[in-house]
Amino acid sequence: MNKIVGVLLAGGGAIALGGIALHRHEPINALWIVTAAVCIYALGYRFYAAWVAARVLSVDPSRATPAERYDNGRDFVPTHRWIAFGHHFAAIAGPGPLVGPTLAAQFGYLPGTLWILVGAVLGGCVQDMTILLLSTRRDGRSLGQMARDELGAFGGFAALIGTLLIMILLIAVLGLVVVNAMKHSPWSTATIFATVPVAMLVGVHLRRLRPGRILEASALGVALVLLAVLAGGWVDTHPLLRGVFDWSSLPLAGFVIGYGWIAAILPVWLLLAPRDYLSTFLKLGTVALLAVAIVLLHPQIKMPALTSFVDGHGPLFGGKIFPFVFITIACGAVSGFHALISSGTTPKLIASEADVRLIGYGSMMLESFVAIMAMIAATLLDPGVYFAINSGAGVVGSAPAAAVHTISSWGFPVTVQQMQALAHEMGETTLFARTGGAPSLAVGMASIFGSTFGRGLLSLWYHFAIMFEAVFILSTLDAGTRVGRFMLQDLLGHLYEPLGRTSWYPSVLFSSTLVVAGWGYFLYVGVIDPNGGVNILWPLFGIANQMLAAIALSVATGILVKSGKARYAAVTLLPLAWLAIVTTAAAWQKILSADPRIGLIAAARALSAHLAAGTLPAQAAAAAPQLIFNQRLDAWLTGIFTAVLWLVILDMGRVCARKLRGLPVPAPSEAPYQAARLQPEGGT
Amino acid sequence: MTVRDLRAVMGRTVAATVGWLRAVTGDDAYERYLTHPARTHEGPPMSRRTFYEEREKRKWSGVSRCC
């Protein structure tokens, strides 16, 4: 039976991939991509994941999990595997897999799609499942604690610093995505502003009126935010209110920063927790709806398989296909951040070790599929339209006529009339230079939903998609600021003990302000950057995220070797080696490349030269000193990430070498075996 | 399959979906806590409000959301 299914899957996958290959020079249907993806995931899950779980990780259903041993009805709760799957997926899936593929589509649909599939099946899913099992075997310890216990103090410290830095970059770049979606769009701005009081209302409902009635409160909240989308459309047509909500990017950045600071110091029940319920509902609902719509509509992909931008002069961000496609798409292929969720919260819910394949490997497969859908939504647009929306004014010019001329000269014809008609259909004044990925994804989603469920509602679908992205970007922003604050307090507590107390209000204020100032700074510089800022921030975030994945895979490899499984170490070592290569290559180019579109130092030098020669327009000259400083700072940060990455890898290598030579290594921190009384549910 | 069978299957599907949603969101967490065997040794149970306050505090003091 197993063999028949395997042969069918392999055959289906081969036919779908063959279809993609044969249609290389003509438009292909999105259904080929969906079919290839589903077959590859199914093969990966059925064979590779099962082999890794059984042989490499020695998953043992007879061994009691911490949820069973400490079962206290609160944080340690043995949970049905599909429910734990839902929890885990809701926690790992954020806006990352939507933005990365949209940006990487500048290389064509093929490179990003292949990396999403291969990276997930051999890298990301394996990382998530392995860390989940290792943490389950260690009473749900965090990645940082495992790094400290198994490798040594340095690994633990590196994981902490890495997490804090990646958090700050993540929030800044996501903030920038929201700002770019809201600027001069009264409809989007009004709708997104309205989600704040809606979340607070849900919070009050849950706290004061009907404690813990999460389902009814969330349903109420979702209904209200949908109403807010409609109300935004009304605001857009109102002559006075339209002006009130027509903001430019700098005040919007101020709003996001102020919002983040207030959300960080308010009690969680008022804003953070209720917003998260809303975003979870919208996320699960929209992802399901998008999958159904793509299958029903099965649109044609209009982007070529490969564009000429693989040579590095792409308008969204500079850099060749290698290594930058692997940096741009982190979430959806391999995301180091997931290791933080897979260690800590989820292990305390695992009822049986037999469930880690579904929860760890399976959730990441679904996230990867979300990335595939984002790639489809980006590449079904006319390439000319895609580039007009996503190219910054600094690259193609700020006048529409100049922008369409440049983009058409690349071989992607587009006209001003076409863009105006599209903007009008979507209920916006302009869609030119809306960098960051959210608006182009929203146009793609609106076309899919509109064609499937009613064409007349395009502008509503567009603003629904913008609201959907904004709600969970803001929820990541709240949660991330809070986590960043805890980590900072943990660090500061070593310097001055009271600062480490998470409930001491002066420390809360002080550390929240520091974290918000950290990401607020990068957000501000991104907003004043004429190239849109995302072109610098997103690769930096990608490098940071891959660095965290490399730390997680180092911990996993170290533990495998220490537990006598050196012959299977390639399972985690190969993805680790690949990530180390792409991250180092990308960091090398970001720091040292002489091309100012790629190299940060070269960009700073070029800008200084222009500034000194007086060739910059007045506005650009005013922003130039800050941009120059920021480019140097980013180069330093990139250097720090790479140094941390290699120190952790060397530390892991040292521990492994000692183990293989029979020298003493840090003692394994696995909890002792205890027989399970619970039986795994169903077969696996 | 008769109409009655179909109705029963649909009823079960809806009930299972609602049950899954309640469990995933934590809507039923308090009921689970009340019937939890470990709790009976602890004295009187927490009130619904205190239970959810504690639950939220725990959830948001670690990394629980991702990129």
The pLDDT assigned to A683 comes to 42
Length of chain A: 684
The total domain count for chain B is 1
- The residue to which tokens 């504690």 are assigned: B54
Token digits of residue A658 = 């000692």
Contacts of A479 in chain B (CB under 8 A): 60, 64-65
d(CA B53, CA A337): 27
CB A532, CB A433: distance < 8 Å? yes
Q: How far apart are CA A538 and CA A174, in angstroms?
A: 9
Residue A213 DSSP label: -
Category of A344 on φ-ψ map: left (φ > 0), alpha (ψ -120 to 50) or beta? left
The residue range of the domain holding B38 is 3-59
DSSP code of A533? Answer: S
Class of domain A2-184+247-660: mainly alpha
pLDDT of residue A22: 67
Q: Does a structural domain hold residue B66?
A: no
ipTM for the assembly = 0.90
| In-domain check, residue B64 | no
Q: Who among B24, B52, B63 is closest to A341 (CB)?
A: B63
CA distance A262 to chain B (A): 16
Backbone CA torsion sign across B54, B55, B60, B61: positive
The pair of structure tokens assigned to A537 is: 């921030």
Q: Please report, for residues A217, A227, A464, the alpha-carbon distance to residue A278 in angstroms, rounded to integers and kept in the order given.
A: 9, 14, 14
For residues A476 and A499, give the distance between their C-alpha atoms in angstroms, rounded to a whole number: 25
Interface check B48 vs A, CB under 8 A? yes
Amino acid at the residue A608: S
Identify all chain A residues contacting B30, using CB atoms and an 8 Å cutoff. 212
Q: Which residues contact A619 (CB under 8 A, 6 or more apart)?
A: none
The Cα–Cα gap between B64 and A91 comes to: 6
* Between B39 and A295, residue with greater pLDDT: A295
Question: Which residues of A162-305 form beta strands (DSSP E)?
Answer: 300-301
Q: Which whole number is the average pLDDT over B31-56?
A: 83
Given a cut of 90, is residue B37 above it in pLDDT? no
Chain A and chain B share a number of CB contacts under 8 A equal to: 111
d(CA A342, CA A672): 21
A118: which DSSP letter?
H
Residue B16 lies in a domain: yes
What is the three-class DSSP state of A336? coil
Where chain A has pLDDT below 70, the residues are 1-2, 21-25, 455, 679-684
Helices (H), A568-599: 570-592
Question: CA A113: distance to chain centroid?
Answer: 16
> Does residue B40 lie in a domain region?
yes
Residue B37 is assigned to a structural domain of this protein: yes
Query: Are B64 and A341 within 8 A, CB to CB?
Result: yes
> What gap in Å lies between CA A8 and CA A143, rounded to an integer?
38
Q: Do A96 and B67 touch (CB under 8 A)?
A: yes
d(CA A50, CA A44): 8
Q: Are A546 and A327 in contact (CB under 8 A)?
A: yes
Q: What is the pLDDT of residue A27?
A: 80
- Residue B60 has its nearest CB partner, among A87, A214, A272, at A272
Q: How far is CA A73 from CA A79, A108, B18, B22, B44, in A?
A: 10, 50, 21, 16, 15
* Token pair in block for residue A259: 């919002």
Contact A155, A148 (CB under 8 A): yes
For residues A61 and A675, the answer to whether their CB atoms sit within 8 Å is no
| Contact flag B36-A280 (C-beta cutoff 8 Å) | no
User: Tokens 């593929």 identify what position?
Assistant: A101
